[in-house]
């Protein structure tokens, strides 16, 4: 496995864990989870600490100084794959933002509570983060193994 493939796999799992922590934060904030505040804080900070430690050691082991998309690219083939993936993700996130902008008046029309509207919008943003991450990784695997 090349350096870029290892870096992309690591970033995929790192972003999934961070999005899961964000979803945990929103679920606890909205009262969906029934966790005490001290338990939530302990789980949250231990998870963030583990992510930071693994991120630092992994980046040190791969000799990566910044988290730019083209820092880890080793040849022109991987560079063209990254450009294809970024154009696909740009289209996906643009469409997701446009759909959210269209949905906000409908959400406010059918819900009178701002709390419910914020819950739906935050759930949408977290879901789009997960889907974008999955699209990134699956597209990388599809183009990389050709």
114-144 helix and 76-110 helix, angle to the nearest 10 degrees: 160
Higher pLDDT, 35 or 125: 125
Does the pLDDT of residue 55 top 80, yes or no?
Answer: no
What is the reported pLDDT for 88? 93
pLDDT band at 71 (very low <50, low <70, confident <90, very high): low
Does the pLDDT of residue 140 top 70, yes or no?
Answer: yes
Residue 22 in 3-state DSSP?
Answer: helix
Structural domains in the chain (count): 1
Domain that holds residue 11: 3-144
Terminal C-alpha separation, the chain = 14
Q: How many whole angstroms separate alpha carbon 97 and alpha carbon 91?
A: 10
What is the reported pLDDT for 90? 93
Residue whose pair of structure tokens reads 């909205």 in the numeric block: 30
For residue 135, how many other CB atoms are within 10 A of its CB? 16
What is the reported pLDDT for 67? 61
What is the reported pLDDT for 134? 93
pTM value is 0.76
Give tens-digit pLDDT for 79-119: 888 888 889 999 999 999 999 999 888 888 887 788 888 88
**Between vectors from CA 14 to CA 12 and to CA 18, what angle results, nearest 5°?**
115
């Amino acid at each position: 496995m090349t350096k870029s493939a290892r870096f992309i796999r690591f970033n995929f799992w790192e972003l999934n864990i961070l999005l899961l922590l964000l979803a945990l934060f929103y679920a606890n904030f909205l009262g969906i989870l029934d966790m005490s505040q001290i338990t939530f804080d302990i789980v949250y900070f231990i998870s963030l600490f583990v992510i930071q430690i693994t991120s630092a050691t992994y980046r040190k082991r791969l000799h990566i100084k910044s988290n730019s998309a083209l820092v880890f690219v080793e040849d022109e083939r991987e560079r063209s794959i990254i450009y294809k993936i970024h154009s696909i993700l740009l289209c996906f996130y643009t469409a997701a933002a446009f759909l959210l902008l269209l949905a906000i008046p409908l959400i406010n029309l059918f819900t009178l509570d701002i709390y419910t509207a914020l819950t739906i919008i935050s759930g949408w943003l977290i879901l789009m983060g997960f889907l974008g991450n999955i699209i990134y990784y699956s597209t990388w695997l599809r183009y990389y193994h050709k």
